[in-house]
Amino acid sequence: MNKSLNKLNGFDGVKGPVLTVVMDGVGLAPDTISNAVAGAYTPTLDMLMAKYPMVTLKAHGTAVGLPSDDDMGNSEVGHNALGSGQVFAQGAKLVSNSIESKKMFASSTWQELISNVKNNGSTLHFIGLFSDGNVHSHIDHLKAMLVEAKAQGVNNVRIHILIDGRDVGETSALEYILPFEDFLASLNGDGFDARIASGGGRMKITMDRYEANWAMVDLGWKTHVLGEGRQFACAADAVNAYRAEYKVIDQDLPPFVIAENGTPVGTINDGDSVIFYNFRGDRSIEISKAFEGGADFDKFDRVRVPNVVYAGMLEYDGDLHIPSKYLVNPPEITNTLGEYLTNTGVSQLAISETQKYGHVTYFWNGNKSGKFSEELETYIEIPSDVVPFEQRPWMKCAEITDKLIECLESGKYAYLRVNFPNGDMVGHTGNLAATRCSMEALDLQLKRIIDVVDKLHGVALITADHGNADEMYEMDKKTKQPKPNKDGTFKSKTSHTLNPVPCIIYDNFYSENYSVKADNGQFGLANVAATMVNLLGYEAPEVWNESIIEVK
């Protein structure tokens, strides 16, 4: 297949730079007290929505390759769709299909994991996010594997739970732990012994990403592998104790170890098998590196490195092959925007801060590390602060903009893409005031950016990858009002939303060359790629979803 682009007839394209701005986590929702986007002072964003062509984009469910429209979108699948111009079946759906068809359990990796513990009389361990949020993992996948492990003759299983409170309710941990303990009780017996062995909040241990805070992984290693940490008789006791003592939501719960008579029930030892059952890659790579890293691993002192068979649910990095063993083949995302542009000779910039740098590079390029062209592509990472996001809600948006403007004015790049993480990362904290502040900080940067775009006779497409900041409280579907807590406050929502996202075309020079198609609810994130190449003066590949604009 020829992976270069053909020129459009009748429109040579934008003479200045063409820019995609991703306002991460900024959805469209009714203007209620819950909406930090609408509640913030954002004169620039308000002006853009009022004066320039805007369509809405679906950013969840089947529009981004997830199993159903009840599934919230996320930054990873969102950037896959933005960067590929297509919709591919994503992790949750791939795993569910593999389990239902029994393909997973027939795989050589599953058979090796099971044979290893049976031959050694050792333990099968599961580590992963413990909820049904369906963004990183799903508890039903874990249950299915436990049932199959027992059926295949495994005797000892230990589960290390990473408590969510981010993709699900912020204090919902016991809603998963207590029924799961009942589930384990129904399985146990006849030589089968499965127990929760350790755990902690997902934003405290194990699930760091982009090497922003290896100390989280270090703490997870000590908890899961070494069995070091505060001991409890059961996971529910740990959750109740920590909530009372620390007054934190689930994602921030400290680590805990389940023990009997002072001895941890589930350390990871030589001869064991370990499955990291998250299907999403970004927060799975570092713990995989810790298990598979050799003597040159230097991110933290692992103290001891057990000789285990380790596997991920998917291959989390297809270029670096992390991990070396996995249970389900990831989607093969091909024919991406970045690949087509480099093959056509178009110079590109991708920029964000650490928290979303991988989204405008790795995920944008179809889960591929590295560049398509060292000559034509520049990737810039602005280091993120390692502080709670509600304490610095502006994050690095000003620094990102400083560098972006420098790159725009350099004249070096025909196409640029930038991600501002504020609406998503601060939105996840559940702090309404901080999230409003994050939106106001972002709005200041949008003004700086569009002024430069005008000066250079460029065009900007301003959009988002999913909703989050647009719904900061749990909403009652019947009353359309926030759900109250017992103390009269509102119940915070820390997960993504099912709301559409805006897609604004900011163009003061070329709009007579095209029309924006009517918005009948048909557009999704995958329609952005074709729009960008049209603005650059090229025809979109036939395999992509249609453009939002019609060239005259």
Classified as helix, coil or strand, 245 is helix
Residue 507 backbone class (left: φ over 0; alpha: ψ -120 to 50; beta: rest): beta
Classified as helix, coil or strand, 352 is strand
Per annotation, catalytic residue among 4, 34, 68, 75: 75
Verify whether residue 384 is a known catalytic residue.
no
For residues 508-532, one letter each, b for 16 or more C-beta atoms within 10 angstroms of the residue's C-beta and e for the rest, the string is eebeebbebbeeeebbbbbbbbbbb
Give the bridge partners for 189, in sequence order: 192
Q: How far is CA 158 from CA 147, 226, 272, 285, in A?
A: 13, 13, 10, 21
Q: Cβ neighbours of residue 412 under 8 Å, at least 6 residues apart?
A: 347, 349, 378
The CA-based dihedral angle spanning residues 378, 379, 380, 383, taken in that order and rounded to the nearest 10 degrees: -160
Distance CA 531, CA 111 (A): 46
> For the chain, give me the number of helices (H) and strands (E)?
17, 18
Instruction: Indicate the angle between helix axes 91-100 and 139-151, nearest 10 degrees.
Output: 30
Distance CA 525, CA 55 (A): 11
Give me the active site residues, please.
75
